[in-house]
Structure 1
């Protein structure tokens, strides 16, 4: 298996390294056909038809270099479906790994622990068993963007088999407040962001609150209870997990400079690795009244206090000069 770096602008690859079966402890790559990378970019999985195996590598994201971790082979433990392993895919939430096997006409599912990335055999679907059809020569596999369906091509069945997926989902809700309101120039404005997992049964992982500071404000500090915050103008607060029914908060304090708009608008959004069943409550827009603008009457009075005396003095002077010229 060869690894290349890639120029994002031109798309041109540059060779980095290769991993070979039987070299430096690597196992499970004999007849490697399918390869995929986990959504978090931390692991690579290779399906090997000759070795009847799924090989696992950890991945250095900046360099692309791979380190062999382990291999799962057909006939080991409860694994019985990797013969002719041809295609592998990781679910978008990172919790499952699926392998299509052309010889046993199977789809094998492993559960993936997103924290330890340990794989555990979970279920095997086989052509002709339990009403399953269309998997003869199963050779390719895909998951829909909403994660609700899995598709497998059956080369020898001239078919595509469709499976529905029961995907645990959370429901993140974000609420935000800002005070002082209204705020004055040179004072601090405090935003408190509360994030809640409304699910009654599913915890969510890698929860992130993203917040862009309003123009005319500078960061004083940002902190998160049970998490961490980073950034200066684009703030990201991260929580490793949020249990079902649990809430947490992030506090962002900014200083308001002169020249800010009459109304400060601040938008916070929430994301997570776990599927979110309701996305309409993942964004919250907070409005805070900015420094008051002097009214026209105040400006007018200020201007008149300077202009009027000058105008009057000019008129008086002209009259005095005019009278003197007549008398002379």
Structure 2
């Protein structure tokens, strides 16, 4: 029987508020991720998607605490937020700010190679970097290594970030809205690339997004988040064809359809009665992270 690569049950993350109380940001997250599959984690901004992934990576904000009833990575129990059993890598949302503008593409890639293979010679490091660029279909890799981020298009920069992630030789690749800053044509290319890499490299991919169209194109399984909880989970077919939770149904209804050249009326997602909770949450997160959160 195949074991989950990540199994968390009852995950709760709290942060301190200005009043000194601990405020929950995640409240009993139950999430099971199987190996060699693509999980789509979907929900509106502030639902807890990114904070869940930060917890998996052990990147909790200062002062935050995390507890879980079950925390297993690769079938092994361990402290919440520690992942020695798994090697993980992350592809971030903005490919421009994700790269140092005063460093070459070659510098970014070889820095990863040095950490994974510290005994590699300089020639071996460059060869590994070029091979990574070839994997993500970047032409003329030798030339690209000498260039700076501003000399590449947004799509190429995103491919560089994916190449960096692959050089870490991860078991799990976390993609945090990696197509948001790209136009539709380039977005489709990146999604196709990720699916191909997932198959060839036998990767487990966690794809974070609020875009249901993206999820339908790449995900094997889907988990829907709201207010720091998983409200519904299932196969992609189950979620898109037989959604059971009212919030999931509302998200699907909010997608504008175009028929006969005319767009349907936009349906809105009703808010829960959580104004007081949001005020406390924003206050606590602002103090802990040093600014208003940008799409947890």
**TM-score normalised by structure 2 residue count:** 0.26
Pair member with larger Rg? 1
Q: Which has the higher strand share?
A: 1
TM-score after normalising by structure 1: 0.24
Question: Which structure carries more relative contact order (alpha carbon 8 Å, separation 6+)?
Answer: 2
